[in-house]
Amino acid sequence: MHFAVTAVGADRPGIVAGVTGAFVEHGCNLEDSSMTILRGQFAMMLVVDAPAGVGAGELEAALAGPAADLDLVVTVRQAAEPPEVEPDIESWTVSVYGADHPGIVHGIAALLAERSVNIVDLSTRVVGTSDRPVYTMVLQVTLPPEGDPHQLQADLEAKAGELGVTCRLHPSEADIL
Amino acid sequence: MAVRPVLALPDPFLQRPSATVGPIDAAALALAADLLDTMRSRPACVGLAAPQIGVGLRAFAIDVTGHRKARSCAGELVLFDPVLVSASRPVMGREGCLSIPDLTGDVARATEVVVRGVGVDGTQRELEADTFEARALLHELDHLDGFLFLDRVASPHAVYRRKVYR
């Protein structure tokens, strides 16, 4: 049985050790994970494979100790069994950047959602100076079977114009190299 | 001749395609001198395109002399109205840009290119470049079309923050 687990808390040494220790004790295998620090908050996302008889309740109970010790907010949720082989779908990279203001991520994401374009990865950074912050965002997306990248590029440019940012689409490099 | 301020993100001028220079006149030569002066004033700079100093014309300076990743090296030069004649063998590599001082990124670029353009003496010249010099030429050509390395980064995890420009 697979479970999607998240844990978030102020960064400090020992978070990964504490959370994964609870999995080891219950014979869980860590299948996939992504962990990063966002402005001092350490965020963990994991998919674990638990042995028969270990359910969400047991995992939550097992994580309660480290969550309390490390002041983490933890969630556990049963996940659908992953496909045997990840489908090989062509992906595209979208770059967005411009003067920082609220609504950039939502504006772009809403347009993508309307067109059934799936965001599979996303990273943002604020750079520049405090009086002139610059927002940069790079997304990896997959298009629906009927999706037209040229039309999507045109639509993204129009939306970017409204938002006062630059937005460009190109095939992900894995497809080129 | 002068060291000019370099435009940085989010200046929209950097996204504008530049116009053809045409015959090399005194103004073009003054632009070439400014590009070279400004490029030389930045120790880590191996190339600078006219739009980066606020001039919307198709011209850039490059110089990869002494760079540890360079193989071909045409030395310091300015090219007007450059065109990409051929490009092959893409390889991933890290790039930075004076106009994006806080970030670097991994970009796939051709490692063998031929670029044709007009030199400061007004004659056509053709450059065959490889590895780092090819990357620098492609990066500068992109500037003339209003493209930055951020438009070409490989993935959401191919952008890195940097503390010092070097």
pLDDT per residue over B132-162, tens digit each?
A: 999 999 999 999 999 999 999 999 999 999 8
d(CA A91, CA A117): 10
Shortest alpha-carbon distance between residue A160 and chain B (Å): 12
Interchain CB distance below 8 Å, B154 and A97 = no
Q: Which residues contact A29 (CB under 8 A, 6 or more apart)?
A: A23, A48, A49
Judge if A2-79 and A91-175 fold alike in CATH terms. Answer: yes
d(CA A121, CA A68): 30
Interchain CB distance below 8 Å, A177 and B108 = yes
Interchain CB distance below 8 Å, A121 and B155 = yes
In chain B, whose CA is at the least distance from the CA of A161?
Answer: B12
User: Which of chain B's residues have a Cβ under 8 Å away from the Cβ of A140?
Assistant: 155-156
Q: Which domain holds residue B137?
A: 12-161
The pLDDT of B3-31, averaged and rounded, is 97
* Any B CB within 8 A of A101 CB: no
Domain boundaries A2-79, corresponding CATH code:
3.30.70.260
Q: Is residue B2 part of a domain?
A: no
**Residue A83: is its pLDDT beyond 90?**
no
Q: What is the pTM of this model?
A: 0.90
Interchain CB distance below 8 Å, B150 and A95 = yes
* Any B CB within 8 A of A88 CB: no
pLDDT per residue over B87-122, tens digit each?
A: 999 999 999 999 999 999 999 999 999 999 999 999
Domain boundaries A91-175, corresponding CATH code:
3.30.70.260
Burial class (CB in 10 A: 0-12, 13-18, 19+), A151: exposed
How many domains would you assign to chain B?
1
Here the CATH number for the domain that contains residue B22 is 3.90.45.10
Interchain CB distance below 8 Å, B161 and A95 = no
User: Which of chain A's residues have a Cβ under 8 Å away from the Cβ of B90?
Assistant: 176-177
pLDDT recorded at residue B109: 96
User: Which of chain A's residues have a Cβ under 8 Å away from the Cβ of B10?
Assistant: 97-99, 128, 132, 134, 165-166
d(CA B33, CA B48): 12
Shortest alpha-carbon distance between residue A94 and chain B (Å): 8
Q: Is residue B52 part of a domain?
A: yes
Which residues of B belong to the active site? 140
**Residue B165: is its pLDDT beyond 60?**
no
The pLDDT of A2-16, averaged and rounded, is 97
pLDDT per residue over B45-59, tens digit each?
A: 999 999 999 999 999
Q: Is residue B166 part of a domain?
A: no
Q: Give the distance, in angstroms, between the CA of residue B47 and the centroid of all CA atoms in the same chain.
A: 4
Q: Where are the domains of chain A?
A: 2-79, 91-175
Q: Is residue B21 part of a domain?
A: yes
